[in-house]
Amino acid sequence: MSAAVAEPMLEAELWISFASLLRSYFAAATLDRPEARIDGTHDSVVLRLGATWLIIVCNPEAGTGAWRIEGGATHSGEFTLLQDGRIALDGNAVELDHAAIDLVTLAVRAGKEA
């Protein structure tokens, strides 16, 4: 398999993993919150806690995307899925699970404040 074919496949797989981590950590963090909702498509994840939304959109082929929290205080940023299996979240390279935990924590806090 050529590198030109393998690279987009890697980013797409990393996006699938990251999206799964986001959904899993959000579900665990909101077990006692019946208003919590998880939605998404092949290139987005939307986590809703009452009037607060964490929206993550990705171009899986390019491995780049953006996130934003709406409701209460607004936060936003960008990310790049890295070839080494990590993610550059607003310029800081971290493991996928750490990024997912950080974003979910930020969203849950915003949801409690809203």
73 vs 21: which has the higher pLDDT? 21
Residue 75 has pLDDT above 50, yes or no: yes
Domain ranges (residues) in the chain? 3-113
Residue 69 has pLDDT above 70, yes or no: yes
Residue 5 has pLDDT above 50, yes or no: no
Q: What is the DSSP letter of 78?
A: E
Which tens digit of pLDDT belongs to each residue from 82-98? 999 999 998 999 999 99
How far, in Å, CA of 13 to CA of 7, rounded?
10
Percent of the chain beyond pLDDT 70? Answer: 92
pLDDT at residue number 112: 79
